[in-house]
Amino acid sequence: MKKDCFGGPGQWYKGNLHSHTTNSDGHLIPAQAVALFRQYGYSFLCLSEHDYYTDLRAELDREDFILLPGVEASSWLVQPPKDPAALQELASLKEKNASMPELVQFCCTHGTGLRKTHHIHGILGNEAMQRAAGDNVLHHGERLTPPVAVGDWDGLQAAQQLTDYLKSRGCFTTYNHPTWSRVEMADVVGLQGVWAVEVYNYGTEVECGEGCDTAFWNTMLQKGTQTGCFASDDNHNPAKFFDALGGWVCVKSEELTHEAIVNHLLAGDYYASAGPKITAWGVDGDEVYLTCSPAARINFIVGGLVGGSETILQHESPLIHGLHTLHGGETWVRAEVVDHQGRRAWTNPIWL
């Protein structure tokens, strides 16, 4: 097998696929968010408001910076309140299609809890996906109604229904911050048609130390689900802490257009990072190779073969290149780069 994942033409474009503004629960207006990321060398941004789809390309796109229209859609499992009056109020909220802030406020007021949630991105797809959706494509300013289950749910079914719905509206989908969402493996593993799992969320990492989610992704890969990964900020820009510029993707593309960036994301021509750079990644025969910025270690992680993974450590010379020999029987291989500050970068898996 021979596959050079980053060998195609083009240049690298850096982007954040998960962010919030004052259009939901963020603290920056969209123009301020664009200015922040553009100032720090980003080329694209998805303003993924909670259950609210926005398309601000006409207003905010520039020659050197574009927006990817999107939405962070949600589904909730709520602990039933003990007070009959509160239970009736919850039923009324469901009937009127309450928003996420209204549900959160209800739970805080009545001492009940949001037990689990699915947060799934819908990012506007390429032209073919939009044509397939036809008149059903999401439009700017459209609000989505989060499904609410009380007491118990079929978590996998809830996630699948939300994923399928977003795809029917012309989007490709991501599964976001499963640890923060309090979901279990059974709620996520088996989910089909999701483009990528958010393996690193800088916002939840600085907020509460729950930003790393490779365990969910690994389990999905082990089950044969061919899904990629991404890192993001999920920035809300509160005064309490700085939650931007800590997680991103770098896409290899010939040009900076919505169609090109989306197509290369869908093709896997990118890596996810919280710091390190990856410049080459592929397999040639039984050799897997990776080239990166100076690292403390490179982890080659495989599926389907106990003991088949390997770590390469830096010794005296800078560690900028790693090789791993496949033994046969592996189903997939992916890599992680760890720098001297403990920051990581992740490749997508190569299926063998």
CATH number of the domain residue 351 falls in: 2.60.40.10
User: What CA–CA distances, in Å, run from 38 to 66, 124, 131?
Assistant: 10, 21, 31
The answer to whether position 157 is within a domain reads: yes
Residues β-bridged to residue 59: none
- The verdict on 203 and 183 lying in the same domain is yes
The residue from 274, 296, 320 where one domain ends is 274
Domain that holds residue 194: 9-274
User: What CA–CA distances, in Å, run from 331 to 54, 111, 324, 328, 337?
Assistant: 39, 47, 15, 9, 21
Q: What are the phi and psi torsion angles at 345 (to 5°)? A: -135, 150
The answer to whether position 1 is within a domain reads: no
The residue from 274, 298, 326 where one domain ends is 274
- The verdict on 351 and 310 lying in the same domain is yes
pTM of the predicted model, to two decimals? 0.94
- The verdict on 55 and 139 lying in the same domain is yes
Domain count, the chain: 2
- The verdict on 221 and 319 lying in the same domain is no
The answer to whether position 4 is within a domain reads: no
- The verdict on 200 and 82 lying in the same domain is yes
Tens of pLDDT along the chain (352 residues) come to 999 999 999 999 999 999 999 999 999 999 999 999 999 999 999 999 999 999 999 999 999 999 999 999 999 998 887 777 877 787 777 676 677 677 777 777 876 778 999 999 999 999 999 999 999 999 999 999 999 898 899 999 999 999 999 999 999 999 999 999 999 999 999 999 999 999 999 999 999 999 999 999 999 999 999 999 999 999 999 989 999 999 999 999 999 999 999 999 999 999 999 999 999 999 999 999 999 999 999 999 999 999 999 999 999 889 999 999 999 999 999 999 999 999 999 999 999 9
Distance of CA 311 to the CA centre of its chain: 25
The residue from 250, 274, 298 where one domain ends is 274
The answer to whether position 190 is within a domain reads: yes
Closest CA to 170 of 212, 140, 214: 140
- The verdict on 331 and 209 lying in the same domain is no
Say which amino acid occupies 156. L
- The verdict on 212 and 327 lying in the same domain is no
- The verdict on 35 and 102 lying in the same domain is yes
